[in-house]
């Protein structure tokens, strides 16, 4: 029950680690097709899990609906009281069109950065199975 080929189990979810790179939306579509969604980070364990791969990875947060209002793919707010933005991020660098969240600064626990959604990154899907 707690084994699924191609997925890693970390209670209460299974995680799919991509081996190719896609835009944020293409990554999300891949997750949806797998019965999952892009990873939502709401524990230190999940942050460490996502960080360990040391590569640019899409996570399931975006402010593409309303600039500056960051939401997870399940519609909940990205809480300022629980987030791992790198110092100075999210900054909508120059273009103001950095609307998708990635794991970037892997030497720093605070590793989130906002990036243009059309950039190609690795991604992690999350499927919640048990509480
Ligand atoms: O300095 C942080 C800044 O670094 C890059 O811009 C120079 C990132 N953009 C790209 O990699 C396209 C920004 O997202 C980041 O904030
Ligand atoms: Ca940024």
What's the pLDDT score for residue 2? 80
CATH superfamily of 8-128: Mannose-Binding Protein A, subunit A (3.10.100.10)
Tell whether ligand 1 has an atom less than 6 A from the beta carbon of residue 89.
Answer: yes
Ranges of residues in the chain with a pLDDT under 50 are: none
Compute, in angstroms, the gap from residue 10 CA to the centroid of ligand 1: 31
Q: What residues does 115 pair with on adjacent strands? A: 100
**Are residues 84 and 109 in contact, defined by beta-carbon separation less than 8 angstroms?**
yes
Q: What is the pLDDT of residue 131?
A: 60
Looking at ligand 1, which residue's alpha carbon is closest to its atom 13?
93
Residue 130: what pLDDT?
72
User: Pocket of ligand 1, candidates 55, 62, 93: which has the most ligand atoms within 8 Å of its Cβ, to mutate?
Assistant: 93
Place of tokens 């944020």: 24
**Model ipTM value:** 0.95
Question: For the chain, which residues make up each domain, given as ranges?
Answer: 8-128
What are 41-71's pLDDT values in tens digits? 999 999 999 999 999 999 999 999 999 999 9
This prediction's pTM: 0.95
């Amino acid at each position: 029950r707690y084994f699924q080929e191609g997925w890693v189990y970390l209670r209460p979810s299974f995680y799919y680690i991509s081996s190719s790179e896609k835009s944020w939306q293409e990554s999300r579509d891949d997750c949806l097709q797998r019965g999952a969604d892009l990873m939502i980070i709401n524990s230190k364990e999940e942050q460490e899990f996502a960080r360990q791969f040391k590569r640019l990875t899409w996570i399931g947060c975006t402010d593409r609906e309303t600039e500056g209002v960051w939401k997870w793919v399940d519609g909940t707010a990205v809480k300022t009281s629980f987030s791992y933005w790198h110092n100075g991020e999210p900054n909508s660098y120059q273009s103001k069109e950095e609307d998708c969240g990635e794991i970037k600064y892997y030497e720093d626990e605070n590793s989130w950065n906002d990036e243009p959604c059309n950039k190609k990154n690795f991604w992690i899907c999350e499927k919640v199975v048990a509480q």
